[in-house]
Amino acid sequence: MSGFFWNRQAQDGAARAGVLHTAHGMVQTPVFMPVGTAATVKAMTADAVRSTGAAIVLGNTYHLMLRPGAERVAALGGLHAFMDWPGPILTDSGGFQIMSLGKLRTLDADGVTFSSHLDGSKHRLTPERSVQIQHLLDSTITMVLDECTPFPASYEVAEQSMQMSMRWAERSRTAFVARDGYGMFGIVQGSVFADLRKRSAEALGAIGFDGYAIGGLAVGEGQAAMFDTLDVTVPHLPGDRPRYLMGVGTPDDLLGGVQRGVDMFDCVMPTRAGRTARAYTRAGVLNLRNARHAADASPLDPACACPACARHSRAYLHHLFRCDEMLGPMLLTWHNITYYQDLMRDMRAAIVEGRLGAHAAAVRSNWAASAE
């Protein structure tokens, strides 16, 4: 694991503050990774993403293998040069997207055959090919190929799915080309069944990975079930490696995840919300299409330093969305990503100072005090 490692700097309850060291720079944890599915964080330039304080972004194997193609990205200098992001990049292996294809995919013990959602063309993805694609992209953090178990699933279906994901994890690890400062994460599966999660975590630990992701959540089980699953999963993960909760989530999800010992998160929520006039703020979620904002000269969030808050009023943002101007989604996405980065920064400071519980209670109280 030379050159790629995570070291813990502080702990408050189960929550950890640390630093992830990689070939492309250091990342302070806990961290939220903006989603750049197709080599761009939607509605943002790379400079804008950097200005929010983001240190690492996420790309996606499934989407990039279809368009423009991993080999083309490699020929153009790799994903870092291609998208103007010299910092760390984590690439999802494509398992979740393939699950979402439903009848457009055929799963077998060796891999999955699927039809592109773009043009219907046939493609084959195996653990080895997924790892090869991520290598061509020059991903800092490669994810194993897994089957994201749908929810709900019976115990028998969840067990079979988990066991296949563990076999694929071993094949992915074997296919991974070790390089200084690069890492690979295993993905825990097992749906909401505690014993399956334990078995999956232990199987991945026996293989040995540079970090451990918790997959198969935020797929419809609800927050309570997700938190319960974290409670029975995290204790079985190695304490000296980063922990990543995939595809999560709302600000409250992030607070709860950090309090349960999770270090890394990603989700499309802040960017998707930015395109649909929804703003995450310290006073809760606001809908900028609401008429009550039409003549409001106050900033979106007085404590936020992003351009949407520092230079514009709620009335102006409301106007942009009512006129369908593209600047509205751009400014609000910028704000939402900034808010998520501020949220993680403040949690990290609270962990270091041993006051995360009180901090989380205050944050939630502020949200509750202001209904949309």
State the catalytic residue, choosing from 92, 138, 263, 342.
Answer: 92
**Nearest C-alpha neighbor of 225 from the set 233, 217, 214, 234:** 217
State the catalytic residue, choosing from 138, 263, 266, 301.
Answer: 266
What gap in Å lies between CA 254 and CA 31, rounded to an integer? 10
Where would I find the beta strands (DSSP E) of the chain? Answer: 5-12, 15-22, 25-29, 31-33, 57-60, 89-92, 105-107, 112-115, 122-125, 141-143, 183-188, 211-214, 243-245, 264-266, 278-281, 284-287
Q: Does residue 266 carry a catalytic annotation? A: yes
Sheet holding 89-92, edge to edge: 31-33, 264-266, 243-245, 211-214, 183-188, 141-143, 89-92, 57-60
Q: Does residue 195 carry a catalytic annotation? A: no
What gap in Å lies between CA 220 and CA 126, rounded to an integer? 26
What gap in Å lies between CA 266 and CA 248, rounded to an integer? 6
Active-site residue set: 92, 266
